[in-house]
Structure 1
Amino acid sequence: MSYSSLVTQPPCRIKKTALLLLLTSSFAMADVTLDTVVVTATRSERRVDDTPVRTEVISRAEIEKTHARTLKDAIENIPGLQLREVHGKSGYELSLQGLSSDQVLVLIDGLPIAASTSSTVNLSQYLLSEVDHIEVIKGAASAQYGSSAMGGVINVITRRVKPGFSGSADASLGSYGAQNDSGKSWDAGLKHGQFQLEGGSEQWRARLSGDVLDDAGFGTKPENWSRQGDASKRQQYGAKLSWLPQAGDELWVEGSRYREDDVQRYQRYVPPRLLAQEKTEGIARDRFVAGAKTSFVNGMRVQAQLLDETYNSEGKEYSLGDLMSVRRFEQHLNHLTAQVDLPAWYSQLWQFGMDWRKENVSQSVNGVSEFLGSQKVSKESRELFVQNDIFFGDDWEVVLGLRVQDDSDFGTHAAPKIALRGNVWESGDWKGVLRASFGQGYRVPNLKERHFLFDHSSLGYMVLGNPNLKPESSNSWQLGGNLALSRKVSLDINAYFNQVKDLIQVDEINAVTSNGVSKFTYKNIARTETRGIETALDWRVSDQLNINTSYTYSLSKDLDSGKALTRRPENMARLGLDWEVLAGSTFTLRSRYQSAELIDSAKNAHSDAWMTTDIKFNQQINKNITAYIGIDNVQDTQRDFSNPNDFGPISGRFIYLGSRFAWGS
């Protein structure tokens, strides 16, 4: 009996065993590997093919065969996703469907992760030893995770601890060739290692994990002072303890500690000469989560999680070796979430929930606050959400949702959503699925946009907060479908249209330059829109060969000025190939293309198009050991660092080798 046919029966006609199977699926299905199970679309477990909201998944197998080390590495092959460097930081942020990282929620098991500078989540600051898979929702169709997710949701799902005992260890070395910091091509420019130990009984289970990524940085001319690639050492350690007193019930606590040390080296022109500059930054993130979930005999499920996270950084700037300034940033984030899933009631599944979030932030330079008029700023929000999942037979499903947000500074706002899924055609092994959704987005200005005096004079710019900013709001439409031939061919097409009111963006046109420092502020753009079409084709040519490709066309415009929005390329494409050359020998290729992008609308300046290709080879030595080698950016595509309008890839060709050892269940 199918999932949808089961829930369309009145309760009196559903057999007790089948009802329990359905309604405890959120606790049991995570162990099933026959079909990918996702949670982000509806905040409840569903097979990815059955979700009413289109969900893209990066599996653990994909992470391992592409040797991804950070969250940035793991998601860089998602169709239509754009990665950008975080200004003044060693890391990356993202853009989805023409909307920036401030408008995309990044979550760990459904809970937010602290953003550097209280704004953008740095994707390089999360390592992957604990990750099972990553789910991506595009557009504002998932009201369950916050109406502020105007551009979408990236939800990192950690591994479920299983009974028994198992573990894994992974180590690799890599070189930037002639650009190595040491100037010697065969030195190790990057070192990476990770481990995981887990296991226990049916009632008690535990996990320990660790991940270290030590990057010496690189320079196009290593003999010079400047380094185009920052040196960084990132460390992440985690532990989790779970108690499962009976089937369907679980209590758990988990904690993680992240540490990062960065060094940037550059030169600043002070007539009549260039002066050697250095910036160091030490980052600490401590994250603690406690959670509980239970299921009742009648099928009702209740779950709750509490997050406490601190994120601190200390940056020091030097000129000719002399300490010039010390910047300290402190952030404390608390988040409580709870939800109740009611038993199947005729053809409906009801869900109710709440979120409470509080954030405190302070930042100072040389002991003087960088907030306009205060030492510390804070904000608090309370949100309620409700969802009704309605099934019409085995073929059609409608999801209705509403989220109400009450913000401490901006009052109350309600954001609805609706999603439709239908099996519109089935013949033999062919199947056609239609998906359509509408969602409203709403995002209040973050603390950085409203209050920061963000002084990066050493890097040539300064950004001033604007306390008069208004909240952003959006209407997001998504319409698409999937045509599949069994498990051999799958074609996805999705069109999107986002109308954004009061989009918050740095005002680049009205920047003022004084003593070589450009001063910017934030502004609201009254009316903007992003629209485009995404296509993806997956073709399993044979049991040994799989090919996937995608193309995204996107347009973004300021409707008042008629000009395109900056840093949003019109065309992006992806190509992937996985070939099992021999039993246990796998060749993997991932290629990315991005067209030219507008950098300065006033001067009509563009950054050129670029393309990179990564190749990987994995060789299984025995059932426990796998050796691998990879070349990232085979073409050695790298930006012209003398051109401030070139935003192509930072790193050139990178070659590495490593091995993975896994044992146990």
Structure 2
Amino acid sequence: MQYGVCRVRVSRYLLVWAFISVSSVASEHSGVDPEEALISLGTMVVTATRAPSPLADVPVRTLVMESKTIQKLHSRDIRDALRMLPGIQLREIHGKTGEEVQLQGLNGDRVLILVDGLPVSATTGSTVDTSQLGALDIEQIEVIPGAASSLYGSAAMGGVINIITRQAPEKTGGRVSLQAGSFSSDRELSSEVLPQRHALISGHTEVSGVSVTALIDRRISSEFDLDTDTYPTQGFDGTKTQYKAGVSNRRAEGRLQWQLNAEKYEEDLENRRLTNAGFKGSKTEQLDRTRFTGELALADNHGEWKAQALSENQTDDTAQLNNDATIPAGNLWREADYNQHKWSAQRQQSFGQKWGHDLQLVAGIEGAGESLSQNKTEILLSDEGAAADAVVEVYGDYYRVSTPEVESASRDSLEAFASLTATRTSHNGNTLEWAPGVRVQNDSDFGGYVSPGLSSRQSLPLGQTWQLQLRESLGAGYRVPNLKDRYYVFDHSVNGYMVLGNPDLTPESSRSFQLSANFTDQSRWNIEASAFFNRLYDLIEAEDSGESLNNGQVVIYRYENIQNARTTGAEMATQYSGETLSLRLSYGWLKALNLDTDQPLINRAPHHIKGLLTAQWTDAWDTTLTLDWQNGMVTGISDDGDLSYSRPIARVDLKTGFRLYSDLLLFGGINNLTDNVRDPSDSYDRRPSEGRFPYVGLNLSF
């Protein structure tokens, strides 16, 4: 068994952190009125300890975005909400639609995204496409930066994002929301006035103490083109649709609580691309995901029993096709089937006062498994070089070759975890809290691993109103290479590259140190500074293999373990909540380094500024202005060590809403007001492809 032992070195970097320590949790703030504040210290969170606790009392630094702010951002999916949380960077997924998260310099492969505590299947590699997660029924989003493997296991090496869904109101009702906009007439390929559309309808009722909910969320997109002089387009034409239904008795008190949810997500997208042979063509993708979840909870005088289960199936069909039906050669289809299941059982136990401390234990066991299969079919001029297990059919002058690229690969794991929280409060109000934890995993492919963690919190009252809270945490993170890392073929040959899985990969691991200081008057002001250090071992990245196809037109990348890497950083922010104006402003600094080459890890912005200003002009009218600025991002490294940089990202959004009646909201805004978009001819440019986007909408509640 391999033991993950925390080996964090206190060095000269710690002195630098102590001076420039910077980060804001849009987290700890109690406003003048809890209903008016952006975030309240009394907000209940579950992610930090796996049990409900007030935000002010958790030992781990936690960022929160509440539903009220999400609504003011007019979020169609969780991207707009995540974009405004300090420390999070979003990156467009190359060759696909959507965006992935980066947290503390670790990309979406290493950030675990959960919905009500259960994982979401990745659609691109190991990365969850955040544009697929709708924002219509979210109560709040909770984020733990840094290694959280002792609580959440593999894939939580960079942190955890937990999307908490809203509990249905007691009375019967629902919601209808319509939104439409355009990327401007010179970029839109559609002749319709507002070709980018979003519609949702949801309803809920209660029958004999059982809540019943249902919703449909549909996003309709049209292709847009940043360079009309070239054939390929940047935007996709098609639909993203989510269906969800659930039943629960979550408001039941003093007895067993349960909930069951069924969800279906469909994606049908197409955009223009040149084929490998240079012909005009298209790339299409049809994705279908079904998800079933269940939860049981039973509270008693000393704590709570809780059990959860998940079953999820995902089919992803892609095609790269020539427009000319008389030239079928080069047409290619891929079908990938991915399944995951998970179950967990945990006990939250309060022991009351022991040895001068309030003690609470959360412990449990989890089981998980995944399976993957992938097949490729292509039209060729010859069957030369076809695999031994390929099926070859002859159609005149062409050959239809079908190859099983991954045949039913699978893996599973069994894990146990425990976390103890010990809190001691002195007579003068000072609080000291310790939270040691550990997780033991046994993986069918990689054997055993132990991941310990230790967090602490000190709360110091300063006079009658001000309070200082300090938090420190050490953690050992790890990530087992999943089946896609090891076997999957990511074919973006229409974009000039392919990424191949590597069955010889070894697990990643990390040692993480987090430090934060929070200063608040518990009314209007909240200031926080934080710093982090993540030492990474065997980091998995796609590396240029030196191989190519089609006379060098398609570059082959393979996943490899980078032996040594490090991310360090600091963040600072302030938050103010007044009667009319609310403000969040943060600055983040990041250094991500490959220690083997002494070169930066690419696609990470070292400087990051975020701002969110909300003006509540009247009870019915509000306006929100947001800023997302990133600079200094290295996006390419030549064989000679020369660095290529992206131009700065500078996105400003303006949004406003007017409540015409108590149940009718009219809203609108302009996303990317500055029209900061990438140059399609510059492969190193990481600015967004979605340009200035004015939109209007209405929301009717009943």
TM-score clears 0.5: yes
The correspondence for 1:390, drawn from 422, 437, 443, is 422
Q: Separation in 2 of the partners of 1:117 and 1:483?
A: 40
Q: Which amino acid aligns with 2:323?
A: L
Say if 1:255 and 1:51 are closer, same or farther in 2 by CA, change over 3 A. same
In the alignment, which residue of structure 1 is the partner of 2:625? 589
Residues 461-507 of structure 1: per-residue CA shift (max 9 Å, x gap):
11222221111000000001110122211011110000001111111
Q: Separation in 2 of the partners of 1:166 and 1:385?
A: 40
How far apart are residue 221 of structure 1 and its match?
4.6
How far apart are residue 452 of structure 1 and its match?
2.3
Alpha carbons 2:90, 2:102 under 8 Å: kept: yes
Superposition pairs of residues 305-384 of structure 1, within 5 angstroms: 305-322=308-325, 324-346=331-353, 347-366=358-377, 374-384=406-416
Matched residue SS, 1:257: strand
The correspondence for 1:620, drawn from 656, 659, 664, is 659
Q: Separation in 1 of the partners of 2:651 and 2:93?
A: 20
Q: Does 1:507 align with 2:543?
A: yes
In the alignment, which residue of structure 2 is the partner of 1:195? 201
Q: Does 1:539 align with 2:542?
A: no
Residues 212-250 of structure 1: per-residue CA shift (max 9 Å, x gap):
110112112558643211123111111111136643521
The correspondence for 1:236, drawn from 238, 242, 247, is 242
Alpha carbons 1:129, 1:195 under 8 Å: kept: no
In the alignment, which residue of structure 1 is the partner of 2:683? 644
Alpha carbons 2:455, 2:471 under 8 Å: kept: yes
Q: Separation in 2 of the partners of 1:532 and 1:232?
A: 39
In the alignment, which residue of structure 1 is the partner of 2:167? 160
Q: Which amino acid aligns with 1:205?
A: S
How far apart are residue 116 of structure 1 and its match?
1.1
Q: Which amino acid aligns with 2:265?
A: Y
Give the alignment's Cα RMSD to 1 decimal: 2.0
How far apart are residue 597 of structure 1 and its match?
1.0
Moved more, 392-401 or 60-69: 392-401
Q: Which amino acid aligns with 1:51?
A: V
Alpha carbons 1:193, 1:212 under 8 Å: kept: yes
How far apart are residue 512 of structure 1 and its match?
4.9
In the alignment, which residue of structure 1 is the partner of 2:18? none
How far apart are residue 606 of structure 1 and its match?
1.1
Unaligned 5+ residue runs, structure 1?
A: 1-32
Matched residue SS, 1:164: coil
How far apart are residue 558 of structure 1 and its match?
1.3
Alpha carbons 2:213, 2:245 under 8 Å: kept: yes
Alpha carbons 1:147, 1:440 under 8 Å: kept: no
Q: Separation in 2 of the partners of 1:118 and 1:295?
A: 39
Q: Separation in 2 of the partners of 1:499 and 1:370?
A: 40
Q: Does 1:607 align with 2:646?
A: yes
Residues 613-659 of structure 1: per-residue CA shift (max 9 Å, x gap):
00001101111111001100111111100111111111110000001
How far apart are residue 125 of structure 1 and its match?
1.2
Say if 1:147 and 1:334 are closer, same or farther in 2 by CA, change over 3 A. closer
The correspondence for 1:209, drawn from 197, 205, 215, is 215
Alpha carbons 1:415, 1:442 under 8 Å: kept: yes
In the alignment, which residue of structure 1 is the partner of 2:557? 520
Residues 252-309 of structure 1: per-residue CA shift (max 9 Å, x gap):
2110111111112123574xxx52120111111111112111012x323101011111
Q: Separation in 1 of the partners of 2:309 and 2:477?
A: 25
How far apart are residue 392 of structure 1 and its match?
1.3
In the alignment, which residue of structure 2 is the partner of 1:439? 475
How far apart are residue 509 of structure 1 and its match?
7.5
In the alignment, which residue of structure 2 is the partner of 1:303? 306
Q: Separation in 2 of the partners of 1:528 and 1:572?
A: 21
Percent of aligned positions that are identical? 32
Q: Separation in 2 of the partners of 1:569 and 1:348?
A: 41
Q: Which amino acid aligns with 2:510?
A: S
Residues 294-349 of structure 1: per-residue CA shift (max 9 Å, x gap):
012x3231010111111111112111344611110111111101111123342210
- For CA contacts below 8 A with separation 6 or more, give which structure has more relative contact order: 2
In the alignment, which residue of structure 2 is the partner of 1:252? 259
Alpha carbons 1:118, 1:331 under 8 Å: kept: no
Q: Separation in 1 of the partners of 2:340 and 2:199?
A: 29
Q: Does 1:143 align with 2:154?
A: no
Q: Which amino acid aligns with 1:220?
A: L
Superposition pairs of residues 448-467 of structure 1, within 5 angstroms: 448-467=484-503
In the alignment, which residue of structure 2 is the partner of 1:283? 287
Superposition pairs of residues 66-145 of structure 1, within 5 angstroms: 66-117=73-124, 119-141=126-148, 143-145=150-152
Q: Separation in 2 of the partners of 1:538 and 1:279?
A: 45
Residues 519-555 of structure 1: per-residue CA shift (max 9 Å, x gap):
1111111111100001111022x30011110000000
Q: Separation in 2 of the partners of 1:610 and 1:87?
A: 17
Alpha carbons 1:203, 1:246 under 8 Å: kept: no
Say if 1:538 and 1:142 are closer, same or farther in 2 by CA, change over 3 A. farther
Q: How many residue pairs were aligned? A: 624
Alpha carbons 2:188, 2:223 under 8 Å: kept: yes
Say if 1:221 and 1:644 are closer, same or farther in 2 by CA, change over 3 A. closer
Unaligned 5+ residue runs, structure 2?
A: 1-38, 379-389, 391-401
Residues 432-460 of structure 1: per-residue CA shift (max 9 Å, x gap):
10011111101111212211233332221
Q: Separation in 2 of the partners of 1:452 and 1:371?
A: 11
Say if 1:114 and 1:147 are closer, same or farther in 2 by CA, change over 3 A. closer
Say if 1:370 and 1:129 are closer, same or farther in 2 by CA, change over 3 A. farther
Q: Separation in 2 of the partners of 1:226 and 1:254?
A: 40
